[in-house]
Structure 1
Amino acid sequence: MAQKIIGREHEIKEIEALYQADKPVFAVVYGRRRVGKTFLVRELLGDRLCFYHTGLSPYELKGKKLKELQLSNFYTSLVRYGSDLKQVPSDWLEAFDALIALLEKQETDKRQVVFIDELPWMDTPRSGFVTALEHFWNGWGAGRQNLMLVVCGSATSWISDKLLNNKGGLFDRTTDEIKLRPFTLGECEKYYQANDIVMSKFDQLQCYMATGGIPYYISMLQKGKSLAQNIDRLFFEPNAKLKLEFERLYSSLFTNAEDCMKIVRLLAQKQQGYTRKEIQEQTKLSDGGGLSATLKALEVSDFITSYVKYDYPKREVHFRLTDFYSKFYLTFIDGRKTTNPSFWQDNLLTSSLTAWRGFTFESLCISHLPQIKQALGISGVQTEASPWKSRKEKDGAQIDLVIERADHIDNICEMKFCDDDFVINAGYDKNLRHKLSTFLEETKCKNALHLTLVTTYGLKFNEYAGRVQKVITMEDLFK
Structure 2
Amino acid sequence: MENVIGRTEEKALIKRIETSAEPELLAVYGRRRIGKTFLIRNGFSQGLTFEFSGTHNATLSQELESFSLALTNASGGIQLAKPTSWIQAFQMLIQYLTPLVKKGRKVVFFDEFPWINTPRSGFLPAFENFWNSWASKEKNLVVVICGSAASWMIKKVINNRGGLHNRVTRRIRLLPFTVAETAAYLKAKKVKLDKYQILQIYMAMGGIPQYLKEIEPGYSAAQVIDKLCFTKDGLLNDEFKNLYYSLFDSAENHIDIIRALAQKGKGLTRNEIIETCKLTSGGYTTQLLDELKESGFITPYIPFGKTSKDSVYKLTDEYSLFYIKFIENSRARGQGTWLMFSTGTSWKSWSGIAYESICMKHIDQIKNAIGIKNVYSEVSVWRYQPKSPEDQGAQIDMLIDRADKCINLCEMKFSSDTFEITKSYARELENKLKIFHAQTKTRKSLFMTMVTTYGVKNSDSYPGLIQQQITMDILFEL
Which TM-score band applies after superposition, normalised by the shorter structure?
Answer: over 0.9
**What is the TM-score when the length of structure 2 is the normalising length?**
0.95
445, 450, 455: which one aligns with 2:447: 450
- Secondary structure in structure 1 of the residue aligned to 2:28: strand
Residues 440 and 84 from structure 1, CA distance in 2 versus in 1: closer, same or farther, beyond 3 angstroms? same
Structure 2 unaligned runs (5+)? Answer: none
Amino acid at match of 1:135: N
Instruction: Kindly provide the CA deviation profile for residues 159-203 of structure 1, in whole angstroms up to 9, marking residues without a partner as x.
Output: 101111111110000111112111111111111111111111111
Shift in Å at residue 311 of structure 1? 2.5
Matches of 2:369 and 2:216, distance apart in 1:
32
Matches of 1:40 and 1:86, distance apart in 2:
29
What is the match of residue 79 of structure 1? Answer: 72
Shift in Å at residue 465 of structure 1? 5.0
Matches within 5 A, 1:366-377: 366-377=360-371
Contact 2:41 2:47 in 1 (8 A): no
Contact 2:68 2:80 in 1 (8 A): no
What is the match of residue 190 of structure 1? Answer: 184
Matches of 1:335 and 1:224, distance apart in 2:
29
What is the match of residue 429 of structure 2? Answer: 432
Amino acid at match of 1:303: F
- Secondary structure in structure 2 of the residue aligned to 1:168: coil
Contact 2:211 2:235 in 1 (8 A): no
What is the match of residue 156 of structure 1? Answer: 150
Amino acid at match of 1:175: T
What is the match of residue 289 of structure 1? Answer: 283
Contact 1:30 1:179 in 2 (8 A): yes
What is the match of residue 229 of structure 1? Answer: 223
Shift in Å at residue 299 of structure 1? 0.5
What is the match of residue 347 of structure 1? Answer: 341
Matches of 2:16 and 2:312, distance apart in 1:
39
Matches of 2:248 and 2:307, distance apart in 1:
31
Contact 1:425 1:464 in 2 (8 A): no
Instruction: Kindly provide the CA deviation profile for residues 390-420 of structure 1, in whole angstroms up to 9, marking residues without a partner as x.
Output: 1336782111211100111000111111222
- Secondary structure in structure 1 of the residue aligned to 2:216: coil
Matches within 5 A, 1:325-364: 325-339=319-333, 342-364=336-358
Matches of 2:257 and 2:427, distance apart in 1:
37
Residues 107 and 316 from structure 1, CA distance in 2 versus in 1: closer, same or farther, beyond 3 angstroms? closer
Contact 1:85 1:98 in 2 (8 A): no
- Secondary structure in structure 1 of the residue aligned to 2:44: helix
Contact 1:424 1:465 in 2 (8 A): no
Matches of 1:346 and 1:336, distance apart in 2:
12
Contact 2:407 2:445 in 1 (8 A): yes
Shift in Å at residue 337 of structure 1? 3.9
What is the match of residue 417 of structure 1? Answer: 414
Q: Select between 392-401 and 6-15 the one with higher mean Cα deviation.
A: 392-401
Contact 2:197 2:220 in 1 (8 A): no
Shift in Å at residue 85 of structure 1? 7.0
Matches of 1:286 and 1:245, distance apart in 2:
29
What is the match of residue 22 of structure 1? Answer: 21
Matches of 2:472 and 2:414, distance apart in 1:
10
**What is the TM-score when the length of structure 1 is the normalising length?**
0.94
Contact 1:426 1:464 in 2 (8 A): no
Matches of 2:23 and 2:432, distance apart in 1:
57
317, 320, 325: which one aligns with 2:314: 320
Structure 1 unaligned runs (5+)? Answer: none
What is the match of residue 54 of structure 2? Answer: 55
Contact 2:101 2:140 in 1 (8 A): no
Matches within 5 A, 1:47-126: 47-58=46-57, 66-82=59-75, 86-106=80-100, 108-126=102-120
Matches of 1:151 and 1:280, distance apart in 2:
34
Contact 2:352 2:414 in 1 (8 A): yes
1:36 aligns with 2:35: yes
What is the match of residue 136 of structure 1? Answer: 130
Cα RMSD of the aligned pairs, angstroms, is: 1.8
Matches of 1:384 and 1:112, distance apart in 2:
42
Contact 1:71 1:91 in 2 (8 A): yes
Shift in Å at residue 354 of structure 1? 2.1
Amino acid at match of 2:413: K
Instruction: Kindly provide the CA deviation profile for residues 98-147 of structure 1, in whole angstroms up to 9, marking residues without a partner as x.
Output: 11111124362211211111111111112111101100000100011111
Matches of 1:415 and 1:139, distance apart in 2:
55
Amino acid at match of 1:464: Y
259, 269, 273: which one aligns with 1:265: 259
Matches of 1:123 and 1:266, distance apart in 2:
32
- Secondary structure in structure 1 of the residue aligned to 2:153: helix
Matches of 1:123 and 1:277, distance apart in 2:
34
Shift in Å at residue 355 of structure 1? 2.0
Amino acid at match of 2:74: Y
Matches of 1:106 and 1:458, distance apart in 2:
59
What is the match of residue 254 of structure 1? Answer: 248
Instruction: Kindly provide the CA deviation profile for residues 297-336 of structure 1, in whole angstroms up to 9, marking residues without a partner as x.
Output: 1111111111222233542222211111111111112244
Shift in Å at residue 47 of structure 1? 4.8
Matches of 1:321 and 1:160, distance apart in 2:
21
- Secondary structure in structure 1 of the residue aligned to 2:393: coil
Amino acid at match of 2:262: A
Matches of 2:48 and 2:233, distance apart in 1:
37
